[in-house]
Every structure is written in C-alpha cells, then in structure tokens.
Amino acid sequence: MPRDLESEKATLAGMPPLSKEQASSPPPADPQSIYKIPTAERFKKMKGIHPYGLLLSQADLDDCDWLEHAAFEPHEAASREKLEYRLRTCGQLCSGIFSSAYPTTSGPLATLVKSRTFPSVDSADSDRKRLLLGHIIATRFTSPVVTDASMDFPKDWRTKYQLNPPVGHDEDGDTVCLHSLCVHPNVQGKGLAMVLLRGWIQRIKDSGTGKRIALLCREKLVRFYERAGFKRVGDSTCTFGGGGWIDMVLDFSSGVTIDDDI
C-alpha cells in the first residue's frame, strides 16, 4: 500500500519544531520522584555509608535496643522487653536501614564500629559488619490513631500468645502504628530517616498490611512526616513519655501524596 505522504506532512506540520536544546534536555521529572535532591548531593551525603534496607526480626534485638537508647531520650525510649515483644510478635512490620562497614572506615561509621560489637555481614570478607543505623518498629491495632493501649504490651506475652490482646499488637487491627523511627545520632541529617520511612510506607501500602499508618510526634517533626504523606489529626490523648504528642495519620484510602521537597 503506497504511503499517504500528504497526511504525514499534515501530522508533521502540527508538531512543535525540534530544537537542539530540546533534544539534549532531560525528560520532565516524575512528580512522585524522591530524587528532587540532586543525585550528586544525595551521593555526597551518603558517602561511605552505602545504606541498605532489611526487615527486622528478634535476631536484631541487641542492635535495636542499642539504637533506640542512643537516639531517644530515656523517658521516650521503648524498654528492651517492649522491643523484644514487638520484634517477636510482628517483626514483619519492622524495618532497619543498615550499612556494611569495615572497621577501618574513617568518619562517623568508624566511631560506631568501635562502640560495640556488631554481627558480621554475609560476605566473603569477615571484617565487614552489619551495622544498624536506623529502625522503624511498628505493631497493628484496632484504633484509628495511636493509643496508650497500642503502645503497651501484654505482661504475659511470653507464656500466652493472643491474637487480639487488649493491649499491644492486634493481628486483626487495620491501623499500623509506627511506635519508633530513629537514626543513630552520629549519622543524622543525611536523609537516612526519610529513605527508611518512604521505603517502609511503600511496603506497608503495597502489601495491604493496613488501611492506614498512625504515629505520634512532637511539633518539630510534623513537617517531616507531612513530607512523607502524613496528615496532622490533632492533639493526642496518649500519656506515654509525659504526653504532649500530636496524632499523625497516613490514610491509604484517601490517596497518598508524598512531598517531593525533601
């Protein structure tokens, strides 16, 4: 069949003229991209860290306990037993951000490696350490916001497993309660918390683990969580750690908007 040159000409005439500038400019940024920070700057901030994410389990208890108490004020940190309860009962809801560091590394990781013994990473090089830099510890509960009951744990949890306990982790709860997000003080301000948080939210959302995520935070961190898609609900009634918390919720049914400006 002969080509219809006249109609092809008309199509071409309707198109904007190609310029050299257009040909070399990058494609428009994806509005949902987290890479608004220029790659070079992001690379510089993370230099020497090479973070990677993993689910947490009870095997990470020593590291989580150490990190929790290094990052939080003593009255806000979860006790070792509470961490153990959460990691054992619902470790699949918890995530860590790690680095595989060498003992000889200079900078913030070197001081961390010297501060305590970390497990070796699964590598041919036995000197490499599996260094926990940040974690998210969460449970599921039935209330739409974080409550004191959701933050507590059954005192007989070691001997009596309950699917729907009055406090702690409720297997049938549709709210994922984020109880602890922290990054070791030596490596804060590099974007690790946001990387960890966004990856974790995506996993919870995609896996249909809950209808929403709820958390408590102080006023100074409201904007941080808003950037990750959370909305401020109001003042919390929780008395944990002396109270004064703000309820934040990210509801998957109302659509999630993640602010690119991190």
Which residues sit at the interface with ligand COA, rule CB under 6 A?
Answer: 71-72, 181-183, 188-194, 217, 220-221, 224
- Rama region for 184: left / alpha / beta (φ>0; ψ in -120 to 50; rest): beta
Residue 64, both tokens: 């989580």
Cβ-based nearer residue to ligand COA, 113 or 181: 181
Kindly state the smallest distance separating residue 198's Cβ from ligand COA, in Å.
Answer: 9
The CB-of-189 to ligand COA minimum distance in angstroms stands at: 5
The DSSP result for 176-241, as a single string, is EEEEEEEE-GGGTTSSHHHHHHHHHHHHHHHTT--SEEEEEE-GGGHHHHHHTT-EEEEE----GG
**CA pair distance 168, 26, nearest whole angstrom:** 49
Smallest gap from Cβ 95 to ligand COA, in A, equals 13
List the one residue out of 48, 94, 92 whose CA is nearest residue 68: 94
**Residues 174, 142 contacting (CB under 8 angstroms):** yes
Return the H-helix or E-strand segment holding 246. Answer: strand 246-251
Query: Shortest gap between Cβ of 103 and ligand COA (angstroms)?
Result: 23
- Report the residue number, 127 or 219, with the smaller CB distance to ligand COA: 219
Nearer to ligand COA, 90 or 215 (CB): 215
- Residue closer to ligand COA by CB (options 158, 223) is 223
Q: How far is the CB of 62 from ligand COA (least distance, A)?
A: 18
CA distances from 204 to 115, 174, 253 (A): 33, 11, 13
Tokens of 22: 């257009």
Task: Closer to ligand COA by CB, 111 or 120: give it.
Answer: 111
The CA distances from residue 138 to 8, 12, 130, 151, 215, in Å, are 59, 56, 22, 9, 9
Residues contacting residue 106 through CB under 8 Å, at least 6 positions apart: 48
Q: Which is nearer to ligand COA, 90 or 214 (CB)?
A: 214
Nearer to ligand COA, 75 or 220 (CB): 220
Pairing of strands 246-251, 212-217: antiparallel
At closest approach, how far in Å is the CB of 130 from ligand COA? 19
Min separation Cβ 109 and ligand COA, Å: 14
